[in-house]
Amino acid sequence: MNEVELLKLRATDEEDLAVISAILQDSVIAIDEMTFLQKECRFAFVANRFCWEDANRDRPLEGNIIYERVNCGICFDTVTAVRHNGLNQAKKAQIISLLSIAAEEDFIDLAFSAGITVRLQVEKIMCHIQDLDEPWPTQRRPSHPFGDN
């Protein structure tokens, strides 16, 4: 059996964050898994991410191609404020999909399905992601009607 190499990355500029955005695209998150730790200036959540880095590797199982998902911790530091648009705080168990992460001068926007945006006011870009456990198999690969996935 091959030893699983868990992903661990950090971003300190817009280019790094673009890589993390691509890796986390189509991750699913329960709204109640997101938290702003104001005293620590940290916004964090756990996501169930699709393993895009392995998506083109063939893993046939009984005639089906098998992909992988893994739980991943995501942490943004130097966060001074969090704002959101379209997020219904009463629906704590709602599951949403992360579409993209984009940075501007002093904020980072997290765009989710259902028209939800979370804006992080930041002093600088400081993001860490780390897989939390071993990946598990899935037969479903996310697809986008107008993209190349």
Task: Tell me what pLDDT residue 70 has.
Answer: 95
Task: Report helix, strand or coil for 1.
Answer: coil
> Is the per-residue pLDDT at 75 higher than 60?
yes
What is the domain extent for residue 79? 11-47+72-132
> Is the per-residue pLDDT at 148 higher than 50?
no
Task: Tell me what pLDDT residue 140 has.
Answer: 80
Task: Report helix, strand or coil for 60.
Answer: strand
Tens digit of pLDDT for each residue in 87-127?
877 777 789 999 999 998 899 999 999 899 999 999 999 99
Name the residue among 103, 107, 28 with its Cα closest to residue 71. Answer: 28
Q: Is 62 within a domain?
A: no
Q: Is 60 within a domain?
A: no
Return the amino acid letter for 92: K
What is the pTM assigned to this prediction? 0.86
**Number of domains composing the chain:** 1
